[in-house]
Amino acid sequence: MKVFVGFGYNDNDNWISEIIIPFIEELGCEVSTGEDMQGEQLSVGVKDRISNSDACIGFLTRRGPVDANGHYSTHRWVIEELTLALGLDKAVFEIRENGVNTQNGILGHLQRLDFDDRTKVMLEIAKFISKEKSKLTHKAFILLPSDFTDEIKPHLNSRDTKCLYRFLYKGKFYEEEETKLEKLRQRELGIIVRKIPSEEAQIDIKITGPNGITWSSGFFSIGLMDVQLQKEN
């Protein structure tokens, strides 16, 4: 699992790079940050790193002096990183230090932890990563009928043969993902899909090949294993 971590690059936030990031790596994650691309605005490199991540954890820690209302400002670029990750449908976890201004442009519907105890931060991060890892588990589907197998099998290695799938969950259509046809049983073909958003999601599978070959499933429950495809004319 790839995790982008956004935080303030200053002495007060050294504990994030020295303790939190190694902790996330010990949980089996690949971590990226924008630390070597520091700036008030998001660079193309940071955007690419977020886009290539499965999740984004943003630390909104105190920045500067306390204001007249007893609040602190925070790091604008971390807010922008969280906003970008949310727009890219990434799993997002906002970790906000107590005292940070709640009206500072932070999206209110993110999963959020308000903290003053760093030990609790590590516990909640472990829970978040465990939950998100469970969503990235793969699942195999056997593709039927035998007529489909007989027609597409001679073209398995063709450049024109493609297999696409997409999810539907809570009224949202996810972007298409590409996978490969595999020999999963002795005489049957199947596919392996990843990044399943929920056990309650539906999935649509479409296979195309040379000479206009097209088979599709329509949306069906992710709980099924054997999938009956229909040939499109």
Summarised one tens digit per residue, pLDDT across range 181-216 is 998 877 789 999 988 888 789 999 999 999 999 999
- Considering the segment(s) 139-231 as one domain, its CATH architecture is Sandwich (2.60)
Closest-CA residue to 60 (of 121, 120, 7): 7
Q: How does pLDDT run across 69-85, given as a tens digit for each residue?
A: 778 888 888 989 999 99
Across all residues in the chain, what is the average pLDDT? 88
CATH fold of the domain at 2-135: Rossmann fold (3.40.50)
Q: How does pLDDT run across 18-32, given as a tens digit for each residue?
A: 999 999 999 999 999
> In the chain, which segments carry CATH 3.40.50.450?
2-135
Tokens of 187: 């005489």
Residue 105 has pLDDT above 50, yes or no: no
Given CA atoms 73, 76, 79, 83 in this order, what sign does their dihedral have? positive
The DSSP secondary-structure symbol of 100 reads: B
Beta-strand runs (E) in 69-209? 91-97, 111-115, 139-144, 162-169, 172-173, 177-179, 182-183, 189-193, 202-209
Query: Could you give the CA distance from residue 204 to residue 140 in angstroms, rounded to a whole number?
Result: 14
> In the chain, which segments carry CATH 2.60.40?
139-231
pLDDT recorded at residue 38: 60
